Structure 1
Amino acid sequence: MNQRRFELLCAALLGFGQLCIMTGFDSESFILESVIHSIHEREPAKISIYAGYYGQAVIYAFYMIACLFSPSIIAVSTPKTNLIIASIFFTAFPLGFLFTNSYYYYASSALLGVGFALFYQGQGGYLTSHSTRRTIESNVSLSWSVGCCCMILGSAIMATITRLSSSSTEIIVESLNSTGEAHKMERQFGELEINLLFSAFTGISVLGIITFFVMPSKDVENCIESSSEKKETFMEAFKLTCSTVVSPKMLQLFPLFVLSGLNTSFWLSVFPTAMSFTMQNSNLIYLAAVYSFAVGSGEVFMGIMISFLSKRIKNFGQKPTMTIGAIFTTAYCILIHLSTAYDAPIKPTSEEPLLFRHSYLLALIIGLICGIGDCCINSVRSVICALVMPKRRAQAFSVSKIYQAFGSCILFFLSPITPLYVYTIGLPILAIIATILFFSIAKRTQITERKMTEASRNAAEIGKKLNL
């Protein structure tokens, strides 16, 4: 097998492992607050009504803290080891819903936050050790697009299980409607549906553990950064991470990283919860599955396009991709603003939207646009972290995730009191700011790379003349 095929195999396996562990997490995030809301209404003492939001806030709080130490951990381990440990933590989270308990729920949320930090540090390290400068954009996009098939798989699981348990779901909805209490007419999840869903998510996460365990770990020739060469000790890497947090380049990219966190948390959890809390959607029991399928399809499509165009257009994975991401983020926020009640993310509501109601078709359109925009933003983040600080790549990846997790953590803590319009207006504004600042630093990075290439070429020419 030649090197390029080996790189593609490694990127695909990395993406497949991501697919397995993220199928559970992403699908859970779509329905988590609604599921916990349903459990609370049946057994109020078992778990608090907003534990879905607060649990995700705990995830991202521990994620943010763990990101400070993840470069130090990878300095004394390997990307593959990080990926295996992370996948175990991801598997522990859905397992808890088979015996719902508040203590286990928050403890597994904290572990999942640590798992996030280890996974993304391992993912970044694995990609840079299995890519060259010429193939990094293509490999990142391929891995990301394969990984994002998790939402397509998750939608199939949710649709199938919802279908199998639809009779119990319909009984719950009808019985709640018959009481005349309007606030309980939102989409409900029955106990059978919850058990089947989270059993499936646990099983697919176990497959992720196996994938990470068997995938190749050997570095490729002329890789961006070798995983076998340890340049720092644990404490040296930690100090380097702390200094990177406040480096001018990272601070200039702060809006991009925070946008990534806020945007992902909004489309992954807040908007699906808003659809579930909208009373007019109580009979649209496949809405979450359709939306998940659409987002996954948009992510995969755009990932393939970025990978394809990066081979033909130099630096397509930077400024052009960022522009597309900002445009599509603004577009899906406008559609959500017009079709969703302002208080829908906070509580079950019967308020009418500004222009039109949700439907399967609208969920499909919003999901596709959202997936395309999110893929662009995440691809840009991965590429710029691999290039902007060549001597601190592990730290750059980690700091990007610290800022991303910070945005997500704040969003989830405030979600129980934040109206929808704060998100739909704030995200497009932040996307514009992030794009302007990204253009500036991407231009400087390209100039630096050009100078380094010219210096290497001149050195090679001088060496040839000396040999003659």
Structure 2
Amino acid sequence: MNQRRFELLCAALLGFGQLSIMTGFDSESFILESVIHSIHERAPERISQYAGYYGQAVIYAFYMVACMFSPSIIAVSTPKINLVTAAIFFTAFPLGFLFTNSYYYYFSSALLGIGFALFYQGQGGYLTSHSTRKTIESNVSISWSVGCCCMILGSAILAGITKLSAEDTKHLMEALNTTSESHKMERRFSDTEINLLFTAFTGISVIGIITFFVMPSRDVENCIESSSEKKETFMGALKLTCSTIVNSKMVQLIPLFSLCGLNTSFWLSVFPTAMSFTKQNSHLIYLPAIYSFAVGSGEVIMGIAISFLSKRIKNFGQKPTMTIGAVCVLIYCALIHFSTAFDAPMKPTQDEPILFHHSYLLAFTIGFICGIGDCCINSVRSVICALAMPKRRPQAFSVSKVFQALASCILFFLSPITPLFVYTIGLPVLSIIATILFFSISNRTQVMERKMTEGSRNAAEIGKKLAL
């Protein structure tokens, strides 16, 4: 096998491993609070009714702390070890829903947070050790496209199991209703549906462990950064990460990093919970599946579009992409604001929305726009971290994740008492602020790149003259 085919194989396997572990996490996030609400109603002693929100807050709290140390861990280990360990931690989380227990639930949430940090550092390290300067963009695009199919696969699992357990769910809803109007009862999950869903999520996460374990680990020739050559010590990498946090460029990008965390947490968990808590939606049992499919489709299509247009339009992956992402946030927040009751994220509700009710078409439209916006915002975050601080790429990326995780952690702790309009008004305002500051950093970065290019060109011309 020639080197290019070997690189493509490694990128595809990395993407498939990501697909496997993220399918469960993303799909769980869509329904987590609703599932736990259903378990709590049948057995209050097993788990708190808002453990879905609090558990995700724990995930992001440990993710935030682990991001501080992940560059140091990768400095003394290997990307493959990080990836396998992360996959094990991802698998431990859905496993706990087969015997729901508060202690194990929060413990596995903490492991999952650490797993997030290990995975993203391992992913970056694996790509740079299995790519050259000429192939890195293509390899990243392949890995991203395969990995982003996780929500499409998750939607198929959600739809299939919902159909298989539809009879049990119907009986549960009928038993819980105290009136003849079944639409007044919010969406509930039966024990059968919960067991089937989380067995499937656990199984596909195990496939992720196997995939990461069998992936080739040898570096390619002329790779960007070898995984076997350790240039820093654990403490040296930690000090570098701490100094990066207070760098002026990183401080100016905090609104962008916070937007990444708040935006993703909102569309991934808060809004799906609001749809499930809306009692008029009780008969729309396939909402999570359709919404998940739409988000995944938006992510994949936009990822391909960015890769295609970046080759034809200079710097398309910076200001144009950020503008598209901000506009998408404005649009989907407006749609959610007018179609969702303000107390829906906090508790089951019968309140009427401002203009119109949810439907499968509306859920698909909102999800598709969310996917496009999320892809754009996360893409520009990765680009600016790589370009703004070229000598501290791992540290810059980890710092961005620290602020992203902090924002998500705060959001989930406050979710049980936060009405919808705080999100639908706050996110657009934050996206505008983040866009303005991002444009400033992007302009400075492009000026820096031009100076570096001119300096290299001048040095080459002087070298030629001296040689003559």
State the TM-score, normalized to the length of structure 2.
Answer: 0.96
Note the C-alpha offset of 1:384. 1.6
Counterpart in the other structure of 1:385 = 385
Counterpart in the other structure of 1:95 = 95
State the distance in 1 between where 2:5 and 2:376 align: 24
Which amino acid in structure 1 is aligned with residue 313 of structure 2?
A: I
Which amino acid in structure 2 is aligned with residue 98 of structure 1?
A: L
Counterpart in the other structure of 1:408 = 408
Counterpart in the other structure of 2:70 = 70
What are the equivalent positions in structure 2 for 1:354-373 lying under 5 Å apart?
A: 354-373=354-373
State the distance in 2 between where 1:316 and 1:9 align: 28
Note the C-alpha offset of 1:357. 0.3
1:354-398 Cα offsets, whole Å, 9 max, x none, are 111000010110010000000111111112222221111111111
Is contact 1:126-1:227 (8 Å) kept? yes
Counterpart in the other structure of 1:258 = 258
Distance 1:276 1:152, change over 3 A: same
Counterpart in the other structure of 1:34 = 34
State the distance in 1 between where 2:456 and 2:2 align: 26
Alignment RMSD (CA, Å) = 1.9
Distance 1:234 1:383, change over 3 A: same
Distance 1:380 1:7, change over 3 A: farther
Counterpart in the other structure of 2:417 = 417
Is contact 2:155-2:288 (8 Å) kept? yes
Q: How many residues align?
A: 468
Counterpart in the other structure of 1:44 = 44
| SS of residue in 1 equivalent to 2:57 | helix
Distance 1:233 1:183, change over 3 A: farther
State the distance in 2 between where 1:223 and 1:461 align: 28
Counterpart in the other structure of 2:119 = 119
State the distance in 2 between where 1:300 and 1:410 align: 29
User: For structure 2, which runs of at least 5 residues remain unmatched after alignment?
Assistant: none
Counterpart in the other structure of 1:329 = 329
State the distance in 2 between where 1:134 and 1:309 align: 17
Which amino acid in structure 2 is aligned with residue 206 of structure 1?
A: V
Distance 1:309 1:11, change over 3 A: farther
1:43-69 Cα offsets, whole Å, 9 max, x none, are 010100000000000000000011111
1:372-430 Cα offsets, whole Å, 9 max, x none, are 00011111111222222111111111101000000000000000000011001111111
Q: Which segment is superposed worse, 164-173 or 215-224?
A: 215-224
| SS of residue in 2 equivalent to 1:375 | helix
Distance 1:413 1:431, change over 3 A: same
Counterpart in the other structure of 2:291 = 291
What are the equivalent positions in structure 2 for 1:233-272 lying under 5 Å apart?
A: 233-272=233-272
Q: Which segment is superposed worse, 379-388 or 246-255?
A: 379-388
1:232-254 Cα offsets, whole Å, 9 max, x none, are 10011111111111111111111
| SS of residue in 1 equivalent to 2:202 | helix
State the distance in 2 between where 1:228 and 1:321 align: 35
1:158-189 Cα offsets, whole Å, 9 max, x none, are 10001000000011111212357999811000
| SS of residue in 1 equivalent to 2:122 | helix
| SS of residue in 2 equivalent to 1:212 | helix
1:96-130 Cα offsets, whole Å, 9 max, x none, are 00111111000000000000111111122233334
Counterpart in the other structure of 1:343 = 343
Is contact 1:339-1:356 (8 Å) kept? yes
What are the equivalent positions in structure 2 for 1:282-321 lying under 5 Å apart?
A: 282-321=282-321
Q: Which segment is superposed worse, 123-132 or 13-22?
A: 123-132
User: For structure 1, which runs of at least 5 residues remain unmatched after alignment?
Assistant: none
Note the C-alpha offset of 1:78. 1.8
Note the C-alpha offset of 1:5. 5.0
Note the C-alpha offset of 1:447. 2.0
State the distance in 1 between where 2:386 and 2:12 align: 19
Is contact 1:139-1:307 (8 Å) kept? no
1:14-59 Cα offsets, whole Å, 9 max, x none, are 2221111000000000000000000000001010000000000000
Counterpart in the other structure of 2:172 = 172
State the distance in 2 between where 1:44 and 1:183 align: 24
Is contact 1:140-1:379 (8 Å) kept? no
Which amino acid in structure 2 is aligned with residue 338 of structure 1?
A: F
State the distance in 1 between where 2:343 and 2:446 align: 45
Distance 1:132 1:310, change over 3 A: farther
Is contact 2:155-2:290 (8 Å) kept? yes
Q: Which segment is superposed worse, 36-45 or 115-124?
A: 115-124
Which amino acid in structure 2 is aligned with residue 240 of structure 1?
A: L
Distance 1:133 1:239, change over 3 A: same
Which amino acid in structure 2 is aligned with residue 280 of structure 1?
A: Q
State the distance in 2 between where 1:58 and 1:31 align: 17
Distance 1:5 1:386, change over 3 A: farther
| SS of residue in 2 equivalent to 1:355 | coil
State the distance in 1 between where 2:126 and 2:274 align: 37
State the TM-score, normalized to the length of structure 1.
Answer: 0.96
State the distance in 1 between where 2:206 and 2:255 align: 35
Is contact 2:328-2:369 (8 Å) kept? yes
State the distance in 1 between where 2:226 and 2:444 align: 25
State the distance in 2 between where 1:251 and 1:335 align: 32
1:313-342 Cα offsets, whole Å, 9 max, x none, are 222111111111111111111111111000
Note the C-alpha offset of 1:12. 2.8
Is contact 2:183-2:283 (8 Å) kept? no
Counterpart in the other structure of 1:152 = 152
Structure 1 consecutive aligned stretches of length 4 or more whose deviation exceeds 6 Å: 180-184
Q: Give the % identical residues.
A: 82
